[in-house]
Structure 1
Amino acid sequence: MKGELLLLSNVMFLLGVACGCPEKCHCHSSSKSVDCGRQGLVEIPPDLPPQTLTLHLENNQIHQLPAFAFRSVPQLMTLNLSNNSLSTLALGAFDGLQHLQVLNLTQNSLHSLENRLFHSLPQLRELDLSSNNISHLPASLGKPWENLTVFAVQQNQLQQLDRTLLESMSNVRLLFLKDNLWKCNCHLLGLKLWLEKFIYKGGMTDGVICASPDTWRGKDLLKIPHELYQPCLSDQVPSQALQPGSARRAAVSLPETHSVGERDHSECELQPKPKPANLRHAVATVIITGVVCGIVCLMMLVAAIYGCAYAAITAQYCGEHLAQTSESGRMEGKELFDSSPA
């Protein structure tokens, strides 16, 4: 039965190829792939074979994707749209692609993404949005992506990233975030905490390298000490919540974005210090204590030497005095003995 279905599928694909392979494309029946790359296309080719599993549209000049742009290939599993001129993606551009697993949108001109853009891709496993001009990602891009394992947004214009979006990717294992305009202030605290947990569980990332403020430019977000985020906690969490052991839990619940009218982002920037205040005080205390202890020990040593010297001199003097007294007594006894009657 399976063999008959496979044969039927291949026959249908061959018929599709024979009847309607797009003029500037190359259709491969064995792999059920269609290659339309490097053809100067400005739109999605019509009449693609319906059994297509892999579609290559890279290195063209496609500017936008309308709704249901891929309705002719409902079985599609891999779609490569890299190195085009895409700046607009209609809300239903990927509708109908229930089996799509790999989507490559690198090297385009995307500035933002609608929060429901990928809602119709329940099987998506790899999403590559690198090398675009994306400056903002919404807190949610549809329902949770339970199957997503690879997410790439490197080389964009991102300054912050809502951890809620990352938490919706429960199975992601590879995360590419480098070469963005990351602003390492209080708004990035949630991402820092999420990345620490992500790496602890075995996830792999290329890191978040700070672009601002100037003090942290070029530094890895994960290497910024937690102590420097204490002002963020004290500003955004009630004082009673910052009891011993609760600071980290409170940080996890911090909001990542702020509504219009709240404080300017510059007010949330970290004010880095060479060392935390409590550490400086501890070092100063240790130094002062060491100096005092040294002085006391030196005084005790001088006192001990003086006492020993005094005791030695006193003992010598007493010994000489006793010797003189004994000698004097013997002389007096001898004189008395000599003067007594014979």
Structure 2
Amino acid sequence: MKGSLLLISSVILLTDVLSGCPPKCLCNRFLKTVDCRNQGLVEVPSHLPAETQILLLSNNRIQKISQSAFVDTLALKILDLSNNSITGLLPGTFKELQHLQILNLTKNFIEYVDNKTFSSLSRLKELDLSSNNILSMPGTLGKNTGNITLLSMKHNKLQKVDRLLLESLPNLKVVLFKGNFWQCNCQVFGLKLWLESFLYRGGISDSIICSAPDHRKGKDLLRIPYELYGICPPTASDVHQANALHYTSEHKSSPKLAHHNEHGGDSSRSHCEPKPKPRPVSLRHAIATVVITGVVCGIVCLMMLAAAVYGCAYAAITAKYHREKNSSGKEKRSLEEKESFERSLA
């Protein structure tokens, strides 16, 4: 990517500058590029050319991005905001960028990502959030972000990632996790399952190295057996939700009880404990089982084939032996009869 940016810069320096180009920026009418890198900017320049498709703002001192920063650049496809001082992103920051495909936010100080920040980017394909201070990721990046093929979250302060976030990105091909503070406890169960399935389907990812607990520190998440995780204890919200569902089902199944409660009758509600989730099947174990079963079946088939060949050979040899024995016996009897006949004539 650095080589591409260097090439763009070289071409920009050799071409004419557009009229109305922001100060400290270089604009190119042919590449539809605005290069404002390394200029010490503290905000996104205003009055950008409307036809701009590539906007390079890396290596500046931008801290905040207003919701109107990109109202003039509706055709923008590539936006590079890397290596700035951005601490947060407002939900409507990129709402005007309907054609944006690549968004680079690496090397900033972002701590929180709202689930509506990228929701309007229906054509976004690459989102790079690496090297920030992100503590947690939302359950989804928005209903219109299903076209993302690359998501980088490496080198942040993440301890876990919700499986729902990854499942909401059906076209994801590359996902990067390394350099975070992963808590390899029962709460990463879903992430482990998703990652195994993702890699099995041909996806590309780096390794998730555990930071805690201590006895798993430095270990690869995918190499820790499921049996060592155990079942997560139910939280207070889980118990409350389970009780509410149980109480609702009782009312639906027993109209008399519901009528009695409506008239102030006291009834004791049983507190149902949430049932432990069934242990997920290990994809690798399933594949190993299929392979072993196939090998065993193959060996059995070979043994049966060998037995059949041996039986046929034995039967052929036995039949040949009996034929030879019978033919020799007949010859001997005919010779004896001939001799006796000759003696009788004599």
1:265-284 aligned within 5 A: none
Q: Kindly indicate whether the alpha-carbon contact (under 8 Å) linking 1:68 and 1:95 is maintained by their aligned counterparts in 2.
A: no
- Which position in structure 2 is the counterpart of 1:98? 98
Whole-angstrom distance in 2 between the partners of 1:152 and 1:231 = 29
SS at match of 2:27: strand
- AA aligned to 2:204 is M
**2:275 corresponds to:** 238
- The residue correspondences of 1:181-200 to structure 2 (distance < 5 A) are 181-200=181-200
Q: Deviations over 1:117-136 (max 9, x none)?
A: 10110000000000000001
**Structure 1 residues not aligned, in runs of 5+:** 1-15, 252-342
Q: CA deviation at 1:144?
A: 4.8
TM-score, normalising length from structure 1? 0.64
Q: 1:44 to 1:233 in 2, by over 3 A?
A: same
1:19 to partner: Cα distance? 3.0
Alignment of structure 1 residues 38-49 onto 2, 5 Å: 38-49=38-49
Q: Cα deviations across residues 215-268 of structure 1 (Å, max 9, x unaligned)? A: 1111110000111124449999626x64xxxx317x9xxxxxxxxxxxxxxxxx
Would you say the 8 A contact 1:17–1:49 is kept in 2?
no
Amino acid at match of 2:280: R
Paired position in structure 1 for 2:130: 130
Give the match for residue 248 of structure 1: 280
Is this contact kept in 2: 1:145–1:170, CA < 8 A? no
- Name the % identity: 48
Aligned 8 A contact 2:17 2:26 in 1: no
CA contact 1:144–1:168 (8 Å) conserved in 2: no
Displacement of 1:68 after TM fit? Answer: 2.6
Q: Give the gaps of 5 or more residues in structure 2.
A: 1-15, 239-273, 283-346
Tell me, yes or no, if structure 1 residue 68 matches structure 2 residue 52: no
* Shift, 1:18, TM fit: 3.7
C-alpha offsets along residues 191-230 of structure 1, whole Å, 9 cap, x if unaligned?
Answer: 0000000001000100111011111111110000111124
Q: Under a length normalisation based on structure 2, what TM-score does the superposition of the two structures give?
A: 0.63
Corresponding residue SS for 2:83: coil
> What is the rounded CA distance, in whole Å, between the counterparts of 2:114 and 2:230 in structure 1?
34
Change (3 A) 1:17 1:48: farther
Corresponding residue for 1:223? 223
Following superposition, the deviation at residue 151 of structure 1 comes to 0.1
SS state at 1:20 partner: coil
Could you tell me how far 1:17 is from its partner in structure 2?
5.6
User: Which piece of structure 1 moves more, 18-27 or 55-64?
Assistant: 18-27
Counterpart of 1:89 in 2: which secondary structure? coil
How many residues align? The count is: 231
* C-alpha distance in structure 1 between counterparts of 2:183 and 2:212, whole Å: 5
Q: Given residue 84 of structure 2, which amino acid in structure 1 is its aligned partner?
A: N
1:86 Cα deviation (Å)? 0.2
Opposite residue 75 of structure 1, the aligned amino acid is: A
State the structure with more CA Rg: 1
Distance 1:168 1:70 in 2: 27
Alignment of 1:1-342 (within 5 A): 18-232=18-232, 238=275, 242=278, 247-248=279-280
After superposition, give the CA deviation of every residue in 1:268-317 in whole Å (9 maximum; x if it has no partner): xxxxxxxxxxxxxxxxxxxxxxxxxxxxxxxxxxxxxxxxxxxxxxxxxx
In 2, distance between residues paired with 1:80 and 1:192?
32
State the alpha-carbon separation in 1 of the partners of residues 89 and 234 from structure 2.
41
- Root-mean-square deviation over aligned CA pairs: 2.2
Q: Distance in 1 between matches of 2:157 and 2:215?
A: 20
The separation in 1 between residues aligned to 2:197 and 2:18, in whole angstroms, is 53
